[in-house]
Amino acid sequence: MSRIFADHIEKAKNILDSNWQGSSTKPAPSLYPHQWNWDSAFIAMGRAHYDTARAIQEIETLFKAQWKNGMLPQIVFNREALGHYFPEPDFWQTERSPHVPENQLTSGITMPPVHAITVEKIFKSSRKSRAVLPFLKRIYPRLLSLHEYLYRERDPENEGLVYIRHPWESGIDNSPTWDEPLGRMKIDKALLPHYERKDLEHGIDPKTRPGDDEYDRYVYLVDLFRRNNYEEALIMRECPFLIQDPLFNSVLCRANESLARIAELLGKDPEIPKNWAEKTADAISKKLWHGEHDIFDAYDIVAHKTIEVDTAAGFLPLYAGAATREQAQRIYERLNSSSFCSLHQGNCFTIPNYDTQKQGFDRSNYWRGPVWININWMLAQGLRRYGYTLKADSLQKDLLQLPIRFGFHEYFDSFNGTGYGTDNFSWTAALFIDLVNEFYASQKNEGVGLAKRLRAMISGGIVLNDGAEMPELPPEDLSSELLRSIKGLRDRFYDTKRGRVDYASLSKSDEYRQYRLLTNGLQKYDPSQLTGRREKIAFWVNLYNTIVVDGIARLGIERSVKEAAYFFGRVKYNIGGLLYSPDDIEHGILRANSRPWFHLFKQFGPSDERKKWVVSPVEPRTHFALVCGSRSCAPIEYYEPQKIYGQLDEAAKSFVNSSEVVILPEEKKLLLSEIFHWYEDDFGGKPGVVDFIFDYHVDDKARQFLKETAGELTFEYIYYDWNLNR
Ligand code: 9WN
């Protein structure tokens, strides 16, 4: 594991330890001194990776305070810490309800039910999962009763969509979505119970917190609940704020999937949670979809209308698998645009909570614009679920760099990353631990042993174009036909948006058969026909990219090119009687016969005939054009000889402005893709790397920083993701 990640995991664990209160973790040192509902679920996701016992304790402590009707309260108060938060038990007066649990102090509302997802994670992450089964047995009925409560009490029309009745229940308290319903509430200050906010006593800039008008309304609603003794039927009749929220319902839907799997693990019937999941997914997709905005919006039950305010909550049906393919594609276009933050935009971090181009967008105010780690953590999984791998990877890398660069804050500026709200925020720490662990776990077990690799190295490899059937065309037309065919494959089977190749359909297609026939023609091809530097670069880059795809398809590689021993040296094309592997093309030809990373010798020996085709001087931009079948490498493009310099510029610019290049000004450090490590010499050493990044960076501030500190910078390298771009 990279040192910077290991160090920050230690920091994150220390934060969780210092926020530990004996049987649960508070969200932050002073601002939130009690146990919070969904915070604990996220906190336990992180702890699940290294301390199963505490992860379990966190969840069990919370569920001890579950109400008798199944409701899981938003806050479980810590008696020792009373007096520093508002509202506390004296204000909630939940003892008016017959449903409150004995010996527990809680609030009278709930929050998004993430917990079944956490419980499943605790089980899966534990090294001794059998030992977790008794916990699963104890917690399953409680999870079930929480979901039952939601469907029974909060879904009066039996639609599969549950309502929230307080902005705090949404977890995204002052989201612009609530402005309209809250704005309708006319508050008579004289009738409002007296209260004092405590949240502004912690040295946090009030501009980054909800306003007093919002607090008045929060208080009005609490007063309404307690007047009605927390009886749902009565509250429902009177409450001006009843909303079907896409975030809450997506979390519930996704949690039902986990609950069904937990049932199966315990040998119980998963039917009930499965049906809930289906019903809710269907209702989200039909009722909450806003076809003109390409996003899901909340529905206001009181006003009988959709609230046409588009926040990141509207993307979360991806997390639940509730969006149709078409809806997902439209959502993707929306979130991957400058409205939120597009790939390679360079001046933004992941997905802010609100559309940056809307009038009320506020980059530093709580849920009205900043980036929140938990929302993006769910979103990254949602994007991955629908195959938007590149975007999901970029979100994950941004999520990792925000705490490293700006601290473990509560929320972050969506443009410059500044941390806002409280520091040492527990879920930021916990989800950081989860992200790093999940990343490294996805990399495990892919490599093959050394012996197998050595055998593969001396075995001579697999020639992919050794067929006897030759294409019927004059030899001088072969390279252009081949390029045309490569372009055809790219247009049909490479999904550049998702950064994926549809290997299964490609292998069976006529286009691929035709391409393979053309590659047979390469046996008689004479590369001296390639004239001019552009033509040569385009030919070899395109050929490299297709031999990789061809090799993956032919060897039936499932997950990572690392499954096949010595893949880049083993698959080969016969070109004019000589054999060329991707390594030969890359290190021998395009890198002007250089030494590959970790090898002792140059790619071609002194008398190797293939040296004739070397492209010199090295064009470093080709590193961003060579596709290696992995998620960390270049998106597949087709390079045209006439346009290749412009295309290489684009490729370099995309890469330099993506999360493969992270500038840490505070530490005078560059966190870079391994590409800049392995091929440092091609860029002219470390100073050349800095110059290169300077040339292609779109952010003036970053350029200025690079200019001023070039000589003092240190380098560290981010992991390289070898998973297939499938
Ligand atoms: C009210 C604890 C909680 C989070 C919420 C976040 C904030 C509370 C507050 O802090 O809300 O529940 O006092 O502002 O909005 O998501 O669970 O971290």
pLDDT at 120: 98
Tokens 């040295």: give the residue. Answer: 203
Nearest-CA neighbor of 545 among 725, 384, 287?
725
C-alpha to C-alpha distance for 631 and 718, rounded to whole angstroms? 13
CB 287 within 8 A of CB 306: no
Peptide bond into 33 cis (omega under 30): no
The percentage of residues in the chain with a pLDDT greater than 90, rounded to a whole number, is 70
Q: Give yes or no for residue 448 having a pLDDT over 60.
A: no
pLDDT at 667: 81
Going by alpha carbons, the residue nearest to atom 16 of ligand 1 is 171
Contact 299 CB / ligand 1 (< 6 Å): no
- Per-residue burial over 634-667, b if 16 or more Cβ lie within 10 Å, else e, is bbbbbbebeebeebbebbbbbbbbbbbbbbbbee
In angstroms, what is the span from residue 31 Cα to ligand 1's centroid? Answer: 9
Nearest-CA neighbor of 199 among 421, 424, 428?
421
Contact 421 CB / ligand 1 (< 6 Å): no
Q: What is the mean pLDDT of residues 280-300?
A: 97
Q: Which residue has the higher pLDDT, 662 or 74?
A: 74
Model confidence over 610-642: pLDDT tens digits? 999 999 999 999 988 886 555 445 556 778 889
CB 262 within 8 A of CB 123: yes
| Count of positions (residues) in the chain | 726
Contact 199 CB / ligand 1 (< 6 Å): yes
Distances (CA, A) of 454 to 458, 556, 598, 629: 6, 21, 14, 22
Listed in sequence order, the residues at least 6 apart from 438 whose beta carbon sits closer than 8 Å to its beta carbon are none
Query: Which is the closest atom of ligand 1 to the Cα of 426?
Result: 18
What Rg do the C-alpha atoms of the chain give, in angstroms? 28
Q: Give yes or no for residue 472 having a pLDDT over 70.
A: yes
CB 722 within 8 A of CB 560: yes
Query: Which is the closest atom of ligand 1 to the Cα of 171?
Result: 16
Q: Which residue has the higher pLDDT, 489 or 87?
A: 87
Q: Give yes or no for residue 549 having a pLDDT over 90.
A: no
Listed in sequence order, the residues at least 6 apart from 9 whose beta carbon sits closer than 8 Å to its beta carbon are 432, 433, 436
Model confidence over 513-534: pLDDT tens digits? 999 999 999 999 899 988 899 9
Largest CA distance in the chain: 94
Nearest-CA neighbor of 108 among 83, 75, 78?
75
Kindly report the number of other CB atoms within 10 A of residue 396's CB atom.
Answer: 23
Distances (CA, A) of 246 to 148, 284, 306, 388, 631: 19, 7, 11, 20, 30
Contact 38 CB / ligand 1 (< 6 Å): yes
Contact 173 CB / ligand 1 (< 6 Å): yes
C-alpha to C-alpha distance for 507 and 556, rounded to whole angstroms? 9
pLDDT at 475: 77
C-alpha to C-alpha distance for 345 and 340, rounded to whole angstroms? 10
Query: Which is the closest atom of ligand 1 to the Cα of 174?
Result: 15
Structure tokens at 367: 């849920």
CB 572 within 8 A of CB 580: yes
In angstroms, what is the span from residue 401 Cα to ligand 1's centroid? Answer: 23
Structure tokens at 178: 């609530």
In angstroms, what is the span from residue 36 Cα to ligand 1's centroid? Answer: 8
Which of the four pLDDT bands, split at 50, 70 and 90, describes residue 725?
very low
Q: What is the mean pLDDT of residues 46-57?
A: 98
Query: Residue 201 half-sphere exposure, CB side, CA atoms within 13 Å?
Result: 10
Q: Give yes or no for residue 586 having a pLDDT over 90.
A: yes
pLDDT at 444: 59
Model confidence over 204-238: pLDDT tens digits? 899 989 999 999 999 999 999 999 999 999 999 99
Q: What is the mean pLDDT of residues 600-604?
A: 89
CB 307 within 8 A of CB 179: no
pLDDT at 273: 98
Structure tokens at 319: 């997390």
Which of the four pLDDT bands, split at 50, 70 and 90, describes residue 701?
confident
Tell me the catalytic residues: 173, 410
pLDDT at 459: 62
C-alpha to C-alpha distance for 148 and 528, rounded to whole angstroms? 73
- From start to end of 213-365, where are the E strands? 243-244, 289-290, 295-296, 299-300, 305-306
Nearest-CA neighbor of 48 among 127, 111, 101?
127
pLDDT at 658: 76
Going by alpha carbons, the residue nearest to atom 14 of ligand 1 is 173
CB 573 within 8 A of CB 519: yes
pLDDT at 394: 83
Which of the four pLDDT bands, split at 50, 70 and 90, describes residue 73?
very high
Nearest-CA neighbor of 115 among 75, 58, 54, 162?
58
Which of the four pLDDT bands, split at 50, 70 and 90, describes residue 726?
very low
Contact 550 CB / ligand 1 (< 6 Å): no
Tokens 């003109």: give the residue. Answer: 292
Contact 112 CB / ligand 1 (< 6 Å): no
Strands 289-290 and 500-501: unpaired
Listed in sequence order, the residues at least 6 apart from 724 whose beta carbon sits closer than 8 Å to its beta carbon are 552, 557, 558, 559, 560, 561, 629, 630, 631
Pocket test for ligand 1, best of 168, 198, 422 (most atoms within 8 A of CB): 168
Pocket test for ligand 1, best of 21, 36, 172, 204 (most atoms within 8 A of CB): 36
pLDDT at 358: 95
Contact 214 CB / ligand 1 (< 6 Å): no
In angstroms, what is the span from residue 366 Cα to ligand 1's centroid? Answer: 10
Q: What is the mean pLDDT of residues 482-487?
A: 84
Contact 39 CB / ligand 1 (< 6 Å): yes
Amino acid present at 657 = N
- Helix residue spans in 364-406 (DSSP H): 373-385, 389-406
Q: What is the mean pLDDT of residues 135-143?
A: 98
Model confidence over 90-103: pLDDT tens digits? 999 999 999 999 99
Q: Give yes or no for residue 78 having a pLDDT over 80.
A: yes
pLDDT at 252: 98
CB 132 within 8 A of CB 56: yes
Q: If you average pLDDT over every residue of the chain, what do you get?
A: 91
What's the pTM value of the predicted model, to 2 decimals? Answer: 0.82
Q: Which residue has the higher pLDDT, 502 or 687?
A: 687
Q: Give yes or no for residue 446 having a pLDDT over 80.
A: no
pLDDT at 659: 72
Query: Which is the closest atom of ligand 1 to the Cα of 367?
Result: 15
Which of the four pLDDT bands, split at 50, 70 and 90, describes residue 431?
very high
DSSP per residue over 33-76, as a string?
-SEEHHHHHHHHHHHTTT-HHHHHHHHHHHHHT--TTSPPPSEE
Model confidence over 663-675: pLDDT tens digits? 888 789 898 888 8
Q: What is the mean pLDDT of residues 41-60?
A: 98
pLDDT at 339: 93
Tokens 């087709």: give the residue. Answer: 638
DSSP letter at 101?
A: P
Nearest-10 Cα torsion for 676, 614, 563, 48: 10
Q: Give yes or no for residue 72 having a pLDDT over 80.
A: yes
Pocket test for ligand 1, best of 172, 173, 174, 378 (most atoms within 8 A of CB): 173
Query: Which is the closest atom of ligand 1 to the Cα of 172?
Result: 15
Which of the four pLDDT bands, split at 50, 70 and 90, describes residue 555?
confident
pLDDT at 654: 82
Amino acid present at 556 = G
Q: Which residue has the higher pLDDT, 683 or 397?
A: 683
Q: Give yes or no for residue 559 having a pLDDT over 70.
A: no
CB 314 within 8 A of CB 297: yes
In angstroms, what is the span from residue 163 Cα to ligand 1's centroid? Answer: 19
Contact 439 CB / ligand 1 (< 6 Å): no
Contact 32 CB / ligand 1 (< 6 Å): yes
Q: Which DSSP helix (H) or strand (E) runs through 570?
A: helix 567-570
